[in-house]
């Protein structure tokens, strides 16, 4: 499908929240990077499942249980196609990106028959732009085991210093953990290049794809990453479900992360044998309806086409950046050559929390704060930033409303 800007105005009607109000004013929603709104396709799919098709999965031999199990596993195949994985068993359902990162941190720390566990002095390479979800799990391992965290710096444009990244590899390097897209700067990191560098040193790479999956066409096979994780709720799907891709070269080496039902073959008090991947990694009853919702969200986006989603957001980003030229008081953080549709900024000496509050009373929803990226705030020497993030339901009128409100803020604080 060739990108047609006019068609995106029709997609806006697929989202009931776009007709909502905020503080009694028409809602202008510019916080999709935190969590995206849901189209009717997702809402209806989950409602239909709960009202007409609900049953637990992988257990019942009755029709609706078998149907639910089929839909659940069909979603796994749909995710495989969406991200370009080779096999459906490489797709693990987790509760979200944070759970996916913690999964890898904990299973790698346990080790396996074929891979030695983390030990004191081992190193994990992170970057200065990481979300707390990709910092805190490694910090906890550093405190518990004594691993060392190496942090790749960024330049003033918000791009990684790949020369420093390359210099960090040594015989103690155990893992690279990096965001595909910065949730603050919008920077798209060169994951394929970073994976090549890591694999040259026989080091696996984990990618936080929370901010990439909703915005970019993905192919984890072409990127040649070992682990890739993202959340459904940023992908126009429900909360409480996410995906962890584990490359098949690791799939049979990692130990089960949690124990319980559904992930076993046999259980006695003397010995437990486990199911094959992916089921050995999915203990207990999952969020079945959320998986159904994720399926609907991916189908919805696939109908639009991720190339078209990307084109639409870049059009909005270009429009917003053009508008910024008439607002020299606004400082933008993150001017990488490759970005997704979000902007983080400060406005003179006005505190971002004040900006967020005033915009809220104008009906405009933005994110103001440290964005779960406090080291990045420290890097730019600011306590907080305001972020606007575009979704497929946004249009240039939303951006116009935002900048009109910014004018009133400037007048208020002059």
User: Could you give the count of Cα atoms lying within 13 Å of 142 in the half-sphere of its Cβ?
Assistant: 12
Q: Note the helical H segments in 84-219.
A: 97-110, 136-144, 162-167, 191-200
405's CB contacts (< 8 A; 6+ apart) are 358, 359, 362, 364
User: Could you give the count of Cα atoms lying within 13 Å of 44 in the half-sphere of its Cβ?
Assistant: 7
Catalytic positions are: 372
User: Could you give the count of Cα atoms lying within 13 Å of 190 in the half-sphere of its Cβ?
Assistant: 15
Q: Note the helical H segments in 274-395.
A: 288-304, 306-324, 352-361, 374-380
* Residue 128 in tokens: 């200065």
* Residue 243 in tokens: 């995906």
Backbone angles phi, psi at 179, to 5 degrees: -75, 140
Rounded to 5 degrees, what angle do the CA atoms 260, 243, 85 make? 115
Query: Cβ distance 396 to 321 under 8 Å?
Result: no
């Amino acid at each position: 499908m060739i990108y047609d800007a006019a068609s995106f105005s029709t997609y806006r009607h697929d989202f009931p929240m776009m007709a909502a109000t905020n503080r009694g004013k028409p809602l202008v929603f510019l916080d999709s990077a935190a969590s995206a709104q849901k189209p009717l396709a997702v809402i209806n799919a989950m409602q239909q499942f709960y009202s007409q098709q609900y049953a637990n999965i992988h257990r019942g031999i009755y029709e609706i249980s078998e149907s639910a199990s089929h839909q659940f596993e069909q979603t796994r195949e749909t995710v495989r196609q969406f991200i370009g994985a080779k096999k459906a068993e490489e797709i693990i359902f987790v509760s979200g990106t944070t759970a996916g990162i913690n999964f890898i941190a904990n299973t790698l720390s346990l080790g396996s028959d074929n891979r030695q566990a983390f030990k004191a002095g081992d190193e994990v390479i992170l970057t200065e732009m990481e979300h707390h979800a990709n910092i805190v799990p490694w910090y906890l391992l550093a405190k518990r085991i004594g691993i060392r965290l190496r942090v790749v710096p960024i330049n003033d444009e918000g791009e990684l210093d790949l020369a420093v990244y390359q210099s960090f590899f040594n015989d103690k390097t155990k893992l690279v953990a990096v965001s595909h897209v910065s949730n603050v700067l919008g920077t798209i990191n060169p994951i394929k290049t970073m994976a090549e560098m890591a694999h040259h040193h026989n080091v696996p790479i984990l990618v936080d794809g929370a901010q990439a999956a909703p915005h970019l066409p993905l192919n984890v096979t072409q990127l040649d990453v070992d682990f890739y994780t993202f959340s459904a709720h940023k992908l126009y799907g429900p909360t409480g479900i996410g995906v962890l891709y584990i490359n098949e070269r690791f799939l049979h080496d990692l130990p089960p992360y949690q124990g319980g039902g559904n992930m076993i073959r046999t259980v006695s008090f003397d010995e437990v044998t486990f199911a094959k991947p992916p089921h050995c990694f999915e203990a207990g009853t999952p969020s079945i309806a959320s998986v159904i919702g994720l399926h609907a969200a991916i189908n919805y986006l696939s109908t639009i086409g991720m190339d078209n989603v990307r084109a639409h957001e870049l059009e909005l980003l270009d429009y917003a950046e053009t508008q910024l030229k008439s607002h020299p008081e606004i400082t933008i953080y993150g001017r990488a050559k490759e970005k997704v549709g979000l902007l983080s900024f400060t406005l003179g000496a006005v505190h971002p929390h004040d900006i967020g509050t005033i915009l809220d009373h104008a009906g405009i929803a933005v994110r103001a704060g440290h964005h779960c990226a406090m080291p990045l705030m420290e890097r730019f020497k600011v306590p907080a930033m305001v972020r606007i993030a575009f979704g497929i339901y946004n249009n240039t009128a939303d951006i116009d409303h935002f900048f009109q409100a910014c004018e009133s803020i400037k007048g208020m604080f002059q």
